[in-house]
Structure 1
Amino acid sequence: MTESRSWTAALLIAASFATTAKADETGRAPSGTYCGQLSSAGVLSDAQTRFEVVAGGTVIGKYVFSDQGQSVDGELAETGDDGDGSDLTRSFMWRDKYGYGQLIVTFTSDFSEFDGKWNAGGSEFLPWNGRRCHQSIS
């Protein structure tokens, strides 16, 4: 009986450490929803970008922005970081109904904001930014 209680206590302690580690990790990683804007067809449009850290620390994401009153949904897949070891600047491939291209984002040190630039394969980069928000992507 005592052994059973000890095992239960050990599981509860381990679970609390895992929860604490996950909470700490979230503050140091680009995860969650960011509200901001991106340039589309020469206009800055409202956008929501959601990042999620998956196995191995790779980041994936989804986004939605308004294009002339219509919602456009897209996906992000990380292709790498800039190699400086800080994980603040990362590269993604974006894909939506208009095609695909590159997105490069640089996060603030607390991952509360990012400044980014995207292109569709050409040399011209356009702005894409966001700040953590509590809205969800529809």
Structure 2
Amino acid sequence: MNFKKLTPLILAIVSNSAISSSQAPSITGSYIGEVQSAEEMSKASTFFTQNENGIISGSYVFIEKGDQIKGELTGCEIIESTNLKCIWKDKYGYGDLEVIFNGSFTKFYGAWNTFDSSKKYPWHGTKQ
């Protein structure tokens, strides 16, 4: 077997694999959308980050009756390949946020609730 002829083929296969994995969709980024608060839908920006250890966290800001409400997303866990569960926290309290991303991580649809209630409210965004 002539290994000199196989070496370029092997390098091409390895290079293509590296390119494909580096271009994989990412959850990281800014998503513009809406969240329900005070019984109405409010404009919202949601930001997700992922550190070198794969830990996902985030923050958000929404406008409610002219006031800017800021919060954080912690304890995020990937439940399935495109499903994420986090804990939200802001001046109103804290609770669960569960979202489902599309396959390319360009949109999410989800719902939030407080820890003391099972009632869920919508939260969605589109990547910018």
TM-score (normalised: structure 2): 0.79
Q: Secondary structure at the match of 1:55?
A: coil
- Give me the identity figure in percent: 35
The CA distance in 2 between the partners of 1:104 and 1:29, in whole Å, is: 17
Q: How large is the Cα RMSD of the aligned pairs?
A: 1.7
Moved over 4 A (4+): 20-23
Structure 2: stretches of 5+ with no match in the other structure: 1-18
Structure 1: stretches of 5+ with no match in the other structure: 1-19, 134-138
Q: Does 1:130 align with 2:128?
A: no
The CA distance in 2 between the partners of 1:56 and 1:104, in whole Å, is: 22
Query: Is the 2:85–2:97 contact (alpha carbons within 8 Å) kept by the matching residues of 1?
Result: yes
The CA distance in 1 between the partners of 2:36 and 2:61, in whole Å, is: 13
**1:72-128, Cα deviation, whole Å (9 max, x unpaired):** 00000133222x4x2x00100001111110000100000000001000111101000
The CA distance in 2 between the partners of 1:48 and 1:32, in whole Å, is: 10
Query: Is the 1:93–1:100 contact (alpha carbons within 8 Å) kept by the matching residues of 2?
Result: yes
Structure-2 residue corresponding to 1:96: 90
TM-score (normalised: structure 1): 0.73
Structure possessing the higher radius of gyration over alpha carbons = 2
Question: Matched residue pairs, number?
Answer: 109
What's the CA shift for 1:53?
Answer: 0.8
What's the CA shift for 1:23?
Answer: 5.7
Structure-1 residue corresponding to 2:41: 44
The CA distance in 2 between the partners of 1:125 and 1:37, in whole Å, is: 14
Give the letter aligned to residue 118 of structure 2: S
Indicate how the Cα distance of structure 1 residues 24 and 94 shifts in structure 2: closer, same or farther if over 3 A, else same.
same
Aligned equivalent of 1:114, options 104, 108, 112 = 108
What's the CA shift for 1:61?
Answer: 0.5
Q: Does 1:75 align with 2:78?
A: no
> Which structure carries more helix by proportion?
1
The CA distance in 1 between the partners of 2:108 and 2:76, in whole Å, is: 17
> Which structure carries more strand by proportion?
2
